[in-house]
Structure 1
Amino acid sequence: MKTSHRMLAAGLAVLTTAALTSCGSDSGPAADGTVTLSFLIDNGASTTARAKGLADAFMRANPKIKIETETRPGGTEGDNLIKTRLSTGEMSDVFWYNSGSLLQALNPAQTMVDLTGDPVLADVQKEYLPAVTQGGKVYGVPSGSMSGGGILYNRKVYDQLGLQVPRTWAEFMANNDRIKAAGITPVISTFKDTWTSQLLLLSDYYNVQAAVPAFARDYTANKAKFATTPAARAGFDHLAEVHAKGYLNDGFGSATAEQGMKLLVEGKGAHYAMTSSQIPPLVATMPQAATDVGFFGVPGADAAKNGATVWEPPGVYIAKTTEHLDAAKKFLAFIASPAGTDAISKAVQPAGPYRVNGAKLPDNAIQAAKDLQAYLDKGATASALEFVSPVKGPSLEQITVAVGSGLTPPAEGAAQYDKDVDKQAKQLGLPGW
């Protein structure tokens, strides 16, 4: 992101506000025993709605603890703000941030409260813990629902053509042939928003893990590569194949994610490699998205090993500089409880199940979330690679655009990505690189 005087001024304004807020809350409890916690979140609409729902419900149950929420920008600007505030000791008591590979860059051992073995984690599913763990220590709790990464599909198109949800890649391609023959776009791609080009590859990770269970560990240790691991390279092959078969929408190179979701919901396109998190924001203006769009995992080579990749929820963390540790832990324990997930569901439709024991999807949950729940119930999910390995190269979305547009052969794209992650791993100082 380009730096400008306006952005710098805005960043300083936020820091100043944070400092004033900290000064107001670091003096200890008020005369009436009330404690004020500062809570930093990103300014996305769904995040602010979830945070408000959580804070309001928590304060009703804990009238002696007040939650003051402040927002920060998203993207690179927000990442830099988080790092600056942690390094200068000006962080809010509690903050909302990514889980997975981005957590390592925050140096949690020096900046966050270690929650390993703490009762705060009592209801957190063990499958989530690797996403908020660094150096064997756990630092966060899940702040919402997981989302499925795979294929969003139009259920009405499937009903109209008598199609079944595919369990292998060959079955998926056969469905695409039927859909194309019916005059409907089989596979939607939206490469103007370059981040969307990664989803078919990243969502294939369940199949990588099923075929090569040690891949994440060996990849992190520089003992496995995309280009030389057939199961991992398959994602690049899939990108190239759907383009070569003519399955993509006209103008896919200039289409946006918003346009892609519209094509899918309206049934003008049948499949879209995407996460289920894109559906809830549409429900207000396109209510049919809740029922007409389903989800299935990227099919692999073996129907018996069919499953789905999941994107873990962001985390909520406690800054080491907090002077209200007991209150902060009480807030995190609420977030990671069935009562907390109920508060979130009342504020925002969940994109998938929660990583909290005892939490349930609401009766009016979107169909894609119910579909993902079915994978979870049968134990057929795997966290995306970025949640189990800190290694992710910065240029993947440019590489997948080129492969998915037929400009770069898939083998070459995989080799390019291996070089890309090499630079990133060395910057992180990972052993073996």
Structure 2
Amino acid sequence: MVPRTPRRTLVALGAGGLALSLALAGCSAGGGSDDEGGPVTLSFLTDNTEATVATAEALADAFMKDNPDITIEVETRPQGADGDNVVKTRLSTGEMNDIFQYNSGSLMQALSPDQTLVNLADQDYVDKFDENFIKSVSTDNGVYGVPMGQSMAGAVIYNKDIYEQLGLEIPETWDEFISNSEAIKEAGVAAPIVQTYGDTWTSQLFVLGDFNNVLADDPDWAQKYTENKAKYVDEPALAGFEHLQEVFDKKLLNEDFASAKYPDGVSMVATGEGAQYPILTFAASQLMTTNPEAADVVGTFPLPGPDAGTNGLTVWMPTNTVYVPKSTEGAKLEAAQKFLEFLTTPESCDIQSETTAAQGPYVIDGCELPEDVPAMVSDMQPYFDDGKTNLALEFLSPIKGPALEQITVAVGSGITSAEDGAAQYDEDVKKQAQQLGLEGW
């Protein structure tokens, strides 16, 4: 069993903020009463990113204000592989928190949701969800998640001032992107392209963010991949690994790429130390936490491929998705459902917009973005409006191997070739595909 950190109860202090007080001693595991009609305490597990915690606490505070008989205690877990292990261990041992935040898409599929999560398909609020979001949290047997956040894109955030000073145009092809990067290097910018392998998950964006270009070349690639009829070692999917190798070989990265972390990468672009950073646009939240003065300086463009005519965004559904494990029962389940319903309201969306910067459009009917979103987000809107988007692979296929971030770090560090890295990843996904019982594997 994974040890839990001490749980704490949020107490509202009005405009002065939030204080934390220890939960009352003597509560059962998870806290609160299971008696019908009595007070209930729910434990809510989230990742430990500053933006996620701030949003979870604000939502819990607002919900508790209107529901005084329900207390929500926010607990955090690590990000990345360590956090994945916490979630999977607690689910498998029946010790999961009463509600928890986790990814949608293929990572959710790896939780065996039909066996471990509460099916929400009969809840009225599911009708509010965008169809693509429903696909990302569903199996043939049920719907399992509620969004806590917006959609986003796997793209390149960039410093608009640097682009303007050097007279650069937004690149629509990979060759133009490399040409821009070399011009930025010649101008003396320390990091034409930022990479942050200190947080290994960030190394995946050159591969995952390229999927719009893969689908542009072969619209059926995701289905073929799921059926074991398409591979990353072959074109068009190999291109993402080749891009990782090329930017390393051409020395276009920050010197500390091996140790720099995600917040460092966002700040480098904000301050002009770095010019471009392939990352998910949830970086808007990090930007507004650490460098709010750069809200209009940091923009977004799609990770370009070989053809300007198909240039577009690879889109993710909200990774901050809330689930209820099957171990939550009785009065706790009723209270958890009430909290999930609250998450689907315009009030909840407004709180999310106020707490952390928007990262893309909401996926709930009735929820609107504020007008003063960062340029990183507003730059995305034309691609959505023009239909120049494609879902990321993890929302079109249940297959995602656990070692991708280690493989992409090795390729991006010059340790492994693009071809070898792609072949390693093709091998990495086999075990998961077999565990899922997919035909052809």
TM-score interval (norm. to shorter) = 0.7 to 0.9
Cα deviation, residue 236, structure 1: 1.2
For residues 2-21 of structure 1, give each alpha carbon's deviation from its aligned partner in whole angstroms, at most 9, with x where no partner exists.
xxxxx95x33967x999715
Code of the residue aligned with 2:176 in structure 1: it is: E
Code of the residue aligned with 2:202 in structure 1: it is: T
Alignment correspondent of 2:271: 266
CA distance in structure 2 between the partners assigned to 1:251 and 1:39 by the alignment: 36
Matches within 5 A, 1:44-55: 44-55=49-60
Alignment correspondent of 2:360: 352
Q: Which runs of 5+ in 2 are unaligned?
A: 8-22
Matches within 5 A, 1:183-332: 183-184=188-189, 185-228=191-234, 230-313=235-318, 314-320=320-326, 321-324=328-331, 325-332=333-340
CA distance in structure 2 between the partners assigned to 1:23 and 1:269 by the alignment: 47
* SS in structure 1 of the partner of residue 32 of structure 2: helix
CA distance in structure 2 between the partners assigned to 1:368 and 1:235 by the alignment: 23
* SS in structure 1 of the partner of residue 296 of structure 2: helix
8 Å contact kept, 1:108–1:139: yes
- Which stretch shifts more, 67-76 or 116-125? 67-76
Change (3 A) 1:299 1:316: same
Change (3 A) 1:144 1:18: farther
Alignment correspondent of 1:125: 130
The two structures, once aligned, show a CA RMSD in angstroms of 2.7
Alignment correspondent of 2:73: 69
Matches within 5 A, 1:279-428: 279-313=284-318, 314-320=320-326, 321-324=328-331, 325-428=333-436
8 Å contact kept, 2:172–2:305: yes
Alignment correspondent of 1:11: 4
Cα deviation, residue 171, structure 1: 2.1
Code of the residue aligned with 2:267 in structure 1: it is: K
Cα deviation, residue 204, structure 1: 0.6
- Which stretch shifts more, 143-152 or 387-396? 387-396
8 Å contact kept, 2:170–2:301: yes
Change (3 A) 1:113 1:250: closer
Change (3 A) 1:327 1:305: same
Aligned length: 420
* SS in structure 2 of the partner of residue 258 of structure 1: helix
For residues 103-135 of structure 1, give each alpha carbon's deviation from its aligned partner in whole angstroms, at most 9, with x where no partner exists.
223222123222225312122111111221123
For residue 101 of structure 2, the aligned residue among 82, 96, 100 is 96
Code of the residue aligned with 1:315 in structure 2: it is: T
* SS in structure 1 of the partner of residue 269 of structure 2: helix
For residues 185-241 of structure 1, give each alpha carbon's deviation from its aligned partner in whole angstroms, at most 9, with x where no partner exists.
32122334333222111111111122222222221221111112x121111121222
Cα deviation, residue 176, structure 1: 2.0
Q: Give the TM-score normalised by structure 2.
A: 0.86
* Percent of aligned pairs with the same amino acid: 47
CA distance in structure 2 between the partners assigned to 1:166 and 1:274 by the alignment: 16
8 Å contact kept, 1:187–1:270: yes
8 Å contact kept, 2:31–2:40: no
Is 1:182 aligned to residue 187 of structure 2?
A: yes
Cα deviation, residue 342, structure 1: 0.6
Change (3 A) 1:84 1:267: closer
8 Å contact kept, 1:35–1:64: no
Alignment correspondent of 2:19: none
- Which stretch shifts more, 140-149 or 184-193? 184-193
Cα deviation, residue 371, structure 1: 1.6
Q: Which runs of 5+ in 1 are unaligned?
A: 1-6
8 Å contact kept, 2:196–2:262: yes
For residues 148-189 of structure 1, give each alpha carbon's deviation from its aligned partner in whole angstroms, at most 9, with x where no partner exists.
211110000111112221122222222223222322232122
Change (3 A) 1:318 1:405: closer
8 Å contact kept, 1:121–1:333: no
